[in-house]
Chains A and B, each alone.
Chain A
């Protein structure tokens, strides 16, 4: 094992690689095309490298207003009219998300130029210029390893359009003519959202390679005007210690990275394998099956996560997300509509796990007869604060059909907490099926109880 303390595969080199070879669905009397084991293993490595799952999104979401919006600078105001340039305001999260092995994150920001800011002068509030920033805060956790919060910020272009007639004007306006905002659209990336060292240290990469949980938070500063922000996975590299026998999602199998496939092809299919020695873990059939099992257990669509911030928020003195305040219902009630019970027609979300269906829950012949419905195991998070007005608990329910839902119960009055529950949700059977609307409902024991809902999320899989 000299010189091979850590096995690393460069997933960037595999991004976009064809995922051949493999076999088509095996049916009776159909000949199977055989490929060398190495080719199958190399193909398995491309699965993680193809991930581009979106883990967090925030933006206008249909709104006509930008946060803390203003279009004209004001000096000498008695009260603050615009955000300050140096305070970060949370607009998404913090919520936990799990990252595909070997992948880390990037954020894409579509925006229009930033507006004005205010600073507190000796006597009144003064204009502090047009400026805006966005940052992603990420805290990475994997077993005993924790790193963060790490801040990844980018400055957004300021608006230079302004009214010079106002003393001290610093612009900050947006075009007001027809279609004008479309002409000033901008976009930028926040790259390399990862724990420091995963790109340069193999052992650090190994610490965070397998299904790391990242607690994500998105914040704005100043007069930032965002249209759409999405934080998504990008493949980097997967690493594992040589003596690590825990299940892995990649082989660390080098294809096209200086090692010709012919040289690393091991174990002709007629030979007996060597057992679980390190060479065999790396290249043998044991590893092929272990990786396949691990991928089958965990790879999935990303689920969803949502927080209560809206682009119309104009609260300067509160740096946290303004929660959605819910009260008055003692039976399950829509958080937006206030209507009783599950309503598959109302505006809401979707569980689109058509490609996350697992055999033991969805197999269409015996398990889910006729393949007419599908369910996915889920792990749900809800970030909320319940305050008793006489009752003993408050509830948030994620429900995706009349049949399947997950309830999260809050019993610690006056405490904001993020609780985690496992269960099942119904999902689309096929991606073009009009089914599995995901509604969020709430209720409390007593009509005087109150729930402040900050956010929720779920992902397929019961695994911790």
Chain B
């Protein structure tokens, strides 16, 4: 179990062993802002820890992240990080021609060519991330690693891996950021702005969220439940390995957090993208495939847009997203109405239940939007989020716990233009995600009751 104590700074997280900020000044970079609070010594352009006892905290094979923000040009080379004695050392460095190199246990395990290097220095976030290789066949491929990069100027990302390699041997000699030895051999000729060592595998998304641009949590009307704090059977208060009390509470809370894990959505990329126009529903080749949606005189279903989907009892809604490309052959844009229906059964096949079993009363719900855009015939269109679709589910026979879904369309449903004949559109994709509305907002209560 990693430590889950709170850190002190942005980026000083659970399991952070060192976090140096405010480079390239070594005196600033050497201040450990992580929970470890173990400052480094300062060299001319590098920082180091020449103490086998303290640097033992970097004896981490996986999960592990070695992260730095660097400023370099096309000629810069040298060490970003080094830990341990030769030949067992961990080395993270830049080789000539702007190549990021990861070396573990004395062997090069992977490289990544740094993009966009030129005569002037540019800023990059770089990271070496390692996890246990789940497919390991022995010591030689015990670890899986990736090299990650974010070019801050160009807002470009690069990634290499997974590389499979042996685990880091225990080796405590010293740890250095910005050079290959405590005396400064192979010092990085560029600049170190920020360095971090973590006992957890980070993703590039996480690094960007910390250091590049922090996105706010999305507005949602759904409940979001993540896995609880991981715990195992050896947990108890302190180290007493007691199995009642808090671990039992954890098990109950964990169960609550996981109860929606087995719900799945439906995500379809249409193929081909059938072009719909005003005459589609009356054309001889396609009229048999189109019908009016129940209780509508405007919206039409296509048989190619009819789906079925199983829904567990606890699923109350589906979050709906639809991709539409709309354009006109002439004139101004024409609004396209798009709806998604959820039904307990297709309205036309209620009567095929076994003898003696009454067809269920037909129930439907829909969400929709009117899309008024002109993406141009050569455009790709875009996604429209239609909100939360209440699930209408069948209750008997093969339709039990299933919902039937259909996309409906209407060209210019509010008769707002005279250009309907020139309207064209395709529906490119339909995405349905199980959504659980907060009970306070009308969703199902706990456990689906």
Contacts and interface: CB of A to CB of B under 8 A. Distances in A.
Physical interaction between A and B: yes
Contact of B217 (A40, A189, A372): A372
Interface size class of B (residues with CB under 8 A): 35 or more
Nearest to B63: A360
Interface stretch (B99-107, B171-179, B282-290, B411-419): B282-290
A301 B225 CA distance: 13
Contacts of B310: 52, 54, 108, 230, 232
Contacts of A311: 304
A293 B313 contact: no
Contact of B252 (A23, A286, A310): A23
A337 B379 CA distance: 10
A48 B262 contact: yes
Given A62-B273, A301-B265, A179 B287 contact: yes
B288 A434 contact: no
A209 B382 CA distance: 42
A185 B348 contact: yes
Interface stretch (A72-80, A141-149, A200-208, A342-350): A342-350
B248 A18 contact: no
Nearest to B404: A110
Contact of A177 (B266, B287, B325, B433): B287
A423 B162 contact: yes
Given A18-B448, A181-B303, A286-B233, A40 B244 contact: no
A367 B10 CA distance: 10
Given A63-B271, A337-B380, A432-B385, A110 B308 contact: yes
The A interface, classified by DSSP as helix, strand, loop or mixed, is loop
Interface in B214-265: 214-218, 220-222, 224-233, 235, 243-245, 247-265
A264 B255 CA distance: 20
B233 to A, nearest CB: 4
A22 B253 contact: yes
Contacts of B301: 182
Contacts of B401: 16, 52
B303 A347 contact: no
Contacts of A186: 349, 352
B288 A35 contact: no
B210 interface: yes
A172 interface: no
The B interface, classified by DSSP as helix, strand, loop or mixed, is mixed
A159 B308 CA distance: 22
Interface residues of A, number: 135
Contacts of B381: 345-347
B226 A62 contact: no
B231 A302 contact: no
Interface in A331-346: 336-337, 339, 343-346
Interface in A202-228: 227-228
Contact of A47 (B261, B302, B346): B261
Given A60-B303, A368-B206, A430-B218, A175 B288 contact: yes
Interface of B: 6-7, 10, 13-14, 63, 131, 134-135, 144, 146, 150, 155, 157, 159, 162, 200-201, 203-206, 208-210, 214-218, 220-222, 224-233, 235, 243-245, 247-274, 281-282, 284-292, 301-314, 319, 321, 323, 325, 346, 348-349, 352, 380-383, 385, 387-388, 398, 401-402, 426-429, 431, 433-436, 446-449
13 contacts: A47-B255, A47-B262, A52-B264, A181-B288, A182-B289, A293-B230, A296-B258, A299-B262, A372-B215, A372-B218, A375-B206, A403-B150, A462-B134
